[in-house]
Chains A and B, each alone.
Chain A
Amino acid sequence: MFDFINRMFGKESSNSKTVATERLRLVLVHDRANVSPHMLNALKEDLIKVISEYMEIDQTALEVNLNQEDNSVALVANIPVLKMKRGYASGAASHS
């Protein structure tokens, strides 16, 4: 009901600023990543460090990218696994 009244008075009818802020939010994800590519690189190195505790991965083929869809941005990582480490499944810790 309030919605309807608000619309009648032109409050929510053409809320183009919401569109503006949403579009800016998305475009700035990419802009900021481009301004500091070393941020993505640092993330990549940290990912390798963490994942290597659990499995052996192909570090040279590892890819980390920001993918844009219609109204969201996703961090997509493609990490080829070479070998699983032993021990975690059975519950015995095997930190080396």
Chain B
Amino acid sequence: MGEVIVITSGKGGVGKTTTTANIGTGLAALGYKVVMVDTDIGLRNLDVVMGLENRIVYDIVDVANGNCRLKQALIKDKRFESLFLLPAAQTKDKNAVSTSQMKELVGNLKQEFDYVIIDCPAGIEQGFKNAIAGAERAIVVTNPEVSAVRDADRIIGLLEAEQLHDPMLVINRLRPAMVKKGDMMNIFDVEDILAIKIIGVVPEDEAIVVSTNRGEPAVLDMASKAGQAYRNVVKRISGEDVPLMNLEESDGFVDKLKKLIGIR
């Protein structure tokens, strides 16, 4: 029996899909059997982020309506034999799948896979309710800025109300230089406000843009800092105890000077 993890955020554009792609791919790279489910019906994107957009035949709505068997709709990844994607429908709306259909679908996937990773749509409407319906664990993605943290707080409250306890936090797109200047909330500020456990901190990284352009998740890019951060997240999900990465930038001239005269 596998584990079902939903990746959610409330606010759009904080990196849910990127996080889903990287966690899914990273778990597969560790040898687990993984399926990623895109529940963002009408605005599917996990397929392009994974570089699998040309292979789609059936989607989640086809499965829910019985137009095809579940196995027919699963797309095998280019890189890993044990990694699959169940794409969202692009032409239907968010109510095309019901909560009970979703529960059943996820229940079936759980039999076959070690991890079922669900990419949740933005918002708190039906699409969100469907996405969390069959989940056992939740990962909340946020950025260190006011609107994203506020929405994350709302989502955490709604997850609790749906009996999804102890969600874990990914702080995405952190900019160490701004944190250092005091112009961006740091890990502890966000942790203090949201009062949930942090499972990863991912720095802002141009490599993410490049990897998304190519359809190759950054978690496989050994040179990328964000990739390293996602590899750590994946290890923590699978139960390994990995310390948070040191995101401090190497000391510049001013810092050396400050050290020299003893303030710091």
A residues at B contact (CB < 8 Å): 2, 5-6, 9-12, 14-18, 20-21, 23-25, 27-28, 31-32, 35-36
- Residues on A with C-beta less than 8 A from B189 are 17, 20-21
Of listed B182, B261, B263, residue having the most chain A CB within 10 A: B182
Q: For A10, what are the chain B residues with a Cβ–Cβ distance below 8 Å?
A: 181
Segment from B13-21, B107-115, B151-159 that makes contact with A: B151-159
**Chain B: which residue is nearest A11 at the CB level?**
B182
- What are 5 pairs between A and B in contact, CB < 8 Å? A9-B258, A14-B183, A17-B179, A24-B146, A35-B154
Residues of B within 8 A of A5 (CB): 261, 263
Q: Which residues of B contact A (CB under 8 A)?
A: 145-146, 149-150, 153-154, 157-158, 161, 179, 181-186, 189, 192-193, 254, 258, 261, 263
In the complex where A24-B146, A25-B193 touch, is A15 in contact with B183 (Cβ < 8 A)?
yes
A35-B182 contact, Cβ under 8 Å, with A9-B254, A21-B193, A27-B150? no
Query: B179: nearest residue on chain A (CB-CB)?
Result: A17
Closest Cβ of chain B to A86, distance in Å, is 45
Q: Report whether over half of chain B's contact residues are helix, strand or loop; otherwise say mixed.
A: helix
Q: Which listed residue (A9, A23, A32, A36) contacts B146, Cβ 8 A?
A: A23
| Residues of the B chain whose Cβ atoms lie less than 8 Å from the Cβ of A16 | 182-183
A5–B157 alpha-carbon span in the complex (Å): 43
Residues from chain B with a CB closer than 8 A to the CB of A18 are 182
* Contact indicator B153/A28 (Cβ below 8 Å): yes
Given A9-B254, A35-B157, is A28 in contact with B183 using a C-beta cutoff of 8 Å?
no
Complex-state Cα separation, A16 to B145, whole angstroms: 11
- State in angstroms the CA–CA spacing of A10 and B149 once bound together: 26
Cβ of B183: which chain A residues have Cβ within 8 Å of it?
14-17
Known contacts A20-B145, A35-B157; A28/B182 CB under 8 A = no
A29 CA to B157 CA, complexed, in Å: 13
Given A17-B185, A21-B189, A21-B193: A32 in contact with B263 (beta carbons within 8 A)? no
What distance in Å separates the Cβ of B99 from its nearest Cβ neighbour in chain A? 20
